[in-house]
Chains A and B, each alone.
Chain A
Amino acid sequence: MKSHHGAEPSKLKVIGIPEGLMIFEQKQLWKKFFESLGCHAVCSGHTTKRIMNSGIELCCNETCLPVKAFTGHAASLCGKADCIFIPRYSSVCSHEKSCPKFCGLPDEVRISLNNKTKFLEIDIDFNRDSKKTQKSLDLLAGELGRSPKTVRDAFDSIVKPGLAAEVSPNRSCSYEPGAPVLAVLGHPYMIFDRLLSMNLIGKLQDAGYRVMTPYDVRRSVRRKNVAPFLSDSFFETGLDMLGGAQALVNLPELAGMVYLSSFACGIDSLVLEIIEHKIRNGRRIPFLKITIDEHSGEAGFDTRIEAFLDMLPNTESIRREKIV
């Protein structure tokens, strides 16, 4: 192992940040973190067809679309950066956990990319073992040729407060009083990614709805709205969806809910069921589940949305308003 008090300057100047999965919401944090350490950070940008296709090719077939997209993002950074940064998110705060796929993600991507490039990792596991984070930060310090203290301080001041941010960077800023609301639920890296979501949010807005997501609700409110579980921790996105849905369901303007899920997503299968159970036993609002994978065609997708919108009670009035 390298000496931690790196007097030697590091050759890792340009850090690649793949914009997918858990980094999707937090890329600004990581970018700032690396820049504060004197590195240059390049992000992979929006998901493109090309990124998607390379991810599909590199990944094991059974995995979900977002993991494939992520791998594509990482691949797109090969050659553009000295190394690729992939954090290992197991949990961002106590009593919460991430999808198990995040726990092996750095290894999975490294192997899928055939060790073609260098990778940097950080362990984030605040529910079970926050010492792991410290250890991984020290290793990173060695790699970057910075002192462990500098790196720890940068992490504590820049990244840590944003891991469980109260206000999401993806909150919608549009507000139209009176417009009927559709709630869109799903992982942020699905619903806010134009390509993966086939521009779901844009399409609903074009149809005259105000779209709200759980990420428009403050995190503390999302957490307050969640019923207790048997186990002492629950999936972070699950809590966001359940708490968010619970907060949104009480909006008088709410016309319906759409849950966008990736085919074969293990977390969604569970969370969806709990939300549907709630809806069955509470205010029965129209609910649409859409599952997509790499074979989903946009035409079929659009048809399903249209059919759903047609079914909503106040569609007529919006349509009329739009015409006048």
Chain B
Amino acid sequence: MKLTFPHMGNTYIALKALLDTLQVDYYVPPTGSRESFELGIANSPEFMCLPFKKVLGDLIQGLNHGADTILFGNSRGQCRLSHYGDLLQNILHDMGYRFHYINLNFRDLTYGEIRNKLEPLLPGGISRARLFSAVSSAVKTIFAVDDLYSEACGVRCRECRRGDADLAIRRFEQRAKAAKGFSQTRRLIRETKDRLAHVPANGAADPVKIGIIGEIFLCSDPFTNLELEKKLGNMGALAVNTMSTSEWIRRHFISAILPIKPKDKAVRAAQNYMHTDYIGGHGIYTIGNAELMCRDGIDGIIQIYPFTCMPEITAKSVLNEVQLQNNVPIMTLILDEMTAETGYITRLEAFVDMLQMRKDRVRSRSG
């Protein structure tokens, strides 16, 4: 048995450590691979959302490299994600692949669910306690990795020498691929953080702060979002990503095991505009987080979503109003597989410049 799974941002780092610990044989599809993406695009329905195409591409790579078992899942939400699994299996079968499909229930991602689905993979079986501790370590690792990336955002926009933060992260990613198990991964994260802390910073830098909102897969996956965080940082802007993988874990895993579900701050903030707490996907968080960041004094916001993403289109119509009410510029980036990097960079640069000018104007007025 050999397992494979699709990428979503940097989750593979934690997932790899988890599978190492459980001694499951696996194949990680190449990260940041245009080739996988092209495979996914070529075999997907034209108007399926971008995340689907990316996921399909990764799985094809996995199956081509000897994997016979796929780990993915489905949610019970209102959107297409809940049917990715059906479609993936149809398409892969039509392509002639035969495989075993493990379907995690994302909406109810409890320890019990994880155990039910993973246990058959572990030939020798595993004690409940060991599995739980491994899964908790994986969750912690996801948080730690996200934390590392957001620290990198803070460093990148202030660094004296452009590229220091990128270099640290690149080194991290290279070494993470070879790391085995949780302790090595944790050590690597610590070392990288240390390295970032020692990047010489320009004390006078006062970067514009840009919030990132939108569809969660795109927000959290640097390959599909064309390294949005990195690009903004290298333009001297501080990127604040509201939709990281840990956000996803918080919503799907942590909230599934909590006995009482706390009312979400972002959902509450969205009620200024919406008479509902759910519009499919994470659309309501897009609106709510935009409103919250505006209240917190953000300089600008970027909404990013894949072409034809239904919840985000609804959210976009509402963001016009959020922008008017708060007088904070919101730019929307809609990505598809044809999005050209040059045009993308131009739009980002124009946006950052505009925000910088606005900020300077305010400062000179008050100063």
| A residues in contact (CB < 8 Å) with B | 59-60, 62-63, 88, 90, 97-101, 103-108, 111-112, 121, 123, 229-234, 264-270, 272-274, 277, 280-281
B85: Cβ under 8 A from any A Cβ: yes
Q: How far is the CA of A149 from the CA of B355 in the complex (A)?
A: 54
A240 to chain B, nearest CB (A): 15
B46: Cβ under 8 A from any A Cβ: yes
Nearest CB in chain B to that of A91: its residue: B78
- The 7 closest A-B CB pairs, nearest first, are A100-B280, A269-B47, A104-B279, A104-B314, A231-B82, A273-B45, A100-B78
Contact A100 B276 (CB under 8 A): no
B249: Cβ under 8 A from any A Cβ: no
Residues 59-76 of B at the A interface (beta carbon under 8 Å): 74-76
Q: How far is the CA of A88 from the CA of B274 in the complex (A)?
A: 12
Partner among A90, A98, A108, A231 whose Cβ is within 8 Å of the Cβ of B314: A108
B226: Cβ under 8 A from any A Cβ: no
Partner among B83, B283, B313 whose Cβ is within 8 Å of the Cβ of A60: B313
1/0 contact trace for B7-51 toward A, CB 8 Å? 000000000000000000000000000000000000001111100
15 contacts between A and B (CB under 8 A): A98-B78, A100-B79, A101-B314, A104-B280, A105-B314, A231-B75, A231-B85, A264-B307, A264-B308, A265-B47, A265-B308, A269-B47, A269-B49, A273-B91, A281-B94
Q: Known contacts A100-B314, A269-B308, A273-B90; is A107 also within 8 Å of B76 by CB? A: no
Q: Known contacts A88-B276, A100-B78; is A270 also within 8 Å of B83 by CB? A: yes
Contact B87 A231 (CB under 8 A): no
Q: How far is the CA of A249 from the CA of B47 in the complex (A)?
A: 25
Residues of A within 8 A of B307 (CB): 62, 264
B318 to chain A, nearest CB (A): 6
* Interface contacts beyond A88-B276, A269-B80: sample of 6 additional A-B pairs, CB < 8 Å, sorted by A: A62-B313, A100-B311, A230-B83, A265-B308, A266-B47, A270-B80
Contact B78 A97 (CB under 8 A): yes
B79 to chain A, nearest CB (A): 5
Partner among A90, A107, A273 whose Cβ is within 8 Å of the Cβ of B78: A90
Q: Which among B79, B103, B315 has the highest number of chain A CB atoms within 10 Å?
A: B79
Contact A103 B74 (CB under 8 A): no
B330: Cβ under 8 A from any A Cβ: no
Contact B45 A100 (CB under 8 A): no
Contact A59 B317 (CB under 8 A): yes
Q: How far is the CA of A121 from the CA of B310 in the complex (A)?
A: 21
Question: What is the size category of the interface that chain B forms with chain A?
Answer: 35 or more
Partner among A59, A107, A112, A231 whose Cβ is within 8 Å of the Cβ of B276: A107
B86: Cβ under 8 A from any A Cβ: yes
B126 to chain A, nearest CB (A): 26
Residues of B within 8 A of A105 (CB): 314
Q: How far is the CA of A103 from the CA of B273 in the complex (A)?
A: 14
B197 to chain A, nearest CB (A): 42
Q: Known contacts A97-B78, A100-B283, A230-B74; is A274 also within 8 Å of B318 by CB? A: no
Contact B275 A100 (CB under 8 A): no
Residues of A within 8 A of B273 (CB): 107, 111
Nearest CB in chain B to that of A125: its residue: B278
Q: How far is the CA of A207 from the CA of B329 in the complex (A)?
A: 53
Residues of B within 8 A of A111 (CB): 273, 317-318, 320-321
B135: Cβ under 8 A from any A Cβ: no
A95 to chain B, nearest CB (A): 10
Q: How far is the CA of A298 from the CA of B148 in the complex (A)?
A: 54
Contact B94 A280 (CB under 8 A): yes
Nearest CB in chain A to that of B319: its residue: A60
Contact A62 B316 (CB under 8 A): yes
Residues of B within 8 A of A121 (CB): 275
Q: How far is the CA of A25 from the CA of B347 in the complex (A)?
A: 43
Residues of A within 8 A of B279 (CB): 100, 103-104, 107
